[in-house]
Amino acid sequence: MKIAVLGAGAMGSVYGARLARAGADVTLLDVNADHVAAVSRDGLRVAFDEGEDVVQIRAMSPDEFVGPADLILLFTKVFHTDAALAAIADRIGNAWVLSLQNGVGNAERIAAYVSPDRILVGMTMTPAEFIGPGHVASHGAATTDFYTASGHVDPILDRLANLLQAGRVTARINPDIHAAIWEKAAFNCALNPICALTNGTPGSVGASKDGRALADAVVAEAIAVAKSCGVTASRAHVDDLLAHAYAYHLMHEPSMLQDIKAQRRTEIDALNGAVVALGAQNGIPVPTNRMIAQFIRLAESNACFRATHAT
């Protein structure tokens, strides 16, 4: 299978490496010129639990990509989706597009560039860290649920599941994928911004009575909004995800904390911000998610202010 990974940061590079090791023909596409150059020159250095490996893999900017591809694996930040797909729009052809991005509403964004019956959506709970150009790490279990966005059955599901399994990813073909996406979103709405705002980790939040209470309030609101949208998301499933993170991802720095530290834009609008917007549409009160979204946006604004007024 020819696979183009669009957005080869931490997660995109880790999955690209796993798929390449499984035998896929993988190309990494990213606008980070230093990362692309390092991978092209030295290969992609990846630290897994089973050891470190250097994977020889193509890397280039999206502008250089000529195609074709059987699958485009979309791993950009949600707010870069439009620009990333627009950059290769004339070379997508008949490829499937799989979004494993954070948040909700990704299929709708992709549908502006790809036929709805060629869109796959999913969620992954795989930890990933960008250490430096040409160097990433992933420690912990790699799991991915996915399905066609439209709900129809297609041979691509088994082909992709087999390939992911060969790359040591626990792959689940999940017809109830929209519920799974909302459950992960609720999990991320809790841990990502709480860790970002407190310089914490899943372990430290889980060890705090206040941290757990705040996370529980966020999740309760998010699940209520999901159900108001007709999605049968399970609070119990989210609680299981939180318990696992509290116990086994003790010192992991979630992506939003990494973004805040690096003074980068976060994905708050696709997480808590989306819960707030959909809650308003459907008459569901979400005061905790609203407050957290406001605090994250303030943190982003503060970083921008400091950069603008630095002497």
Per-residue confidence (pLDDT) for residue 53, from 0 to 100: 92
Do both 147 and 267 map to the same domain?
no
Helix, strand, coil percent content, the chain, rounded in steps of 5: 50, 20, 30
DSSP H helices, the chain, are 10-21, 33-42, 81-87, 106-110, 156-166, 177-198, 202-206, 209-228, 235-248, 255-261, 272-282, 287-309
Is the omega angle on the peptide bond into residue 68 within 30 degrees of 0, that is, cis? yes
User: Which CATH number characterizes residue 143's domain?
Assistant: 3.40.50.720
- 310 or 98: whose pLDDT is higher? 98
Do both 144 and 204 map to the same domain?
no
Does the pLDDT value for residue 164 go beyond 90?
yes
Do both 214 and 236 map to the same domain?
yes
Average of pLDDT values for 198-219?
A: 97
CB-CB neighbours of 224 under 10 Å: 18
- Threshold 0.75, pTM exceeds: yes
Query: 104 is in which domain, residue-wise?
Result: 2-175
| End residue of a domain, out of 175, 198, 232 | 175
User: Which CATH number characterizes residue 199's domain?
Assistant: 1.10.1040.10
Work out the percent of the chain whose per-residue pLDDT is above 90.
Answer: 87
| End residue of a domain, out of 131, 158, 175 | 175
**Into how many domains does the chain fold?**
2
| End residue of a domain, out of 159, 175, 191 | 175
Average of pLDDT values for 141-147?
A: 91
CB-CB neighbours of 58 under 10 Å: 17
The rounded distance, in Å, linking the Cα atoms of 58 and 156 is 23
Do both 17 and 150 map to the same domain?
yes
Does the pLDDT value for residue 311 go beyond 70?
no
Does the pLDDT value for residue 259 go beyond 70?
yes
Does the pLDDT value for residue 28 go beyond 90?
yes
Do both 97 and 184 map to the same domain?
no
pLDDT band at 210 (very low <50, low <70, confident <90, very high): very high
DSSP label of 195? H
Do both 159 and 242 map to the same domain?
no
pLDDT band at 112 (very low <50, low <70, confident <90, very high): very high
Per-residue confidence (pLDDT) for residue 49, from 0 to 100: 87
The rounded distance, in Å, linking the Cα atoms of 70 and 94 is 7
The rounded distance, in Å, linking the Cα atoms of 21 and 266 is 31
Q: What are the tens digits of pLDDT across the range 45-104?
A: 999 988 899 999 999 999 999 989 999 999 999 999 999 999 999 999 999 999 999 999
Does the pLDDT value for residue 123 go beyond 90?
yes
Average of pLDDT values for 99-110?
A: 93
Least trusted range by pLDDT, from 77-81, 97-101, 157-161, 252-256: 252-256
Do both 95 and 150 map to the same domain?
yes
The rounded distance, in Å, linking the Cα atoms of 125 and 106 is 17
Kindly list the strands in the beta sheet with 2-6, ordered across the sheet, starting from the edge strand earlier in the chain.
58-60, 25-29, 2-6, 71-74, 96-99, 119-124, 143-148, 170-173
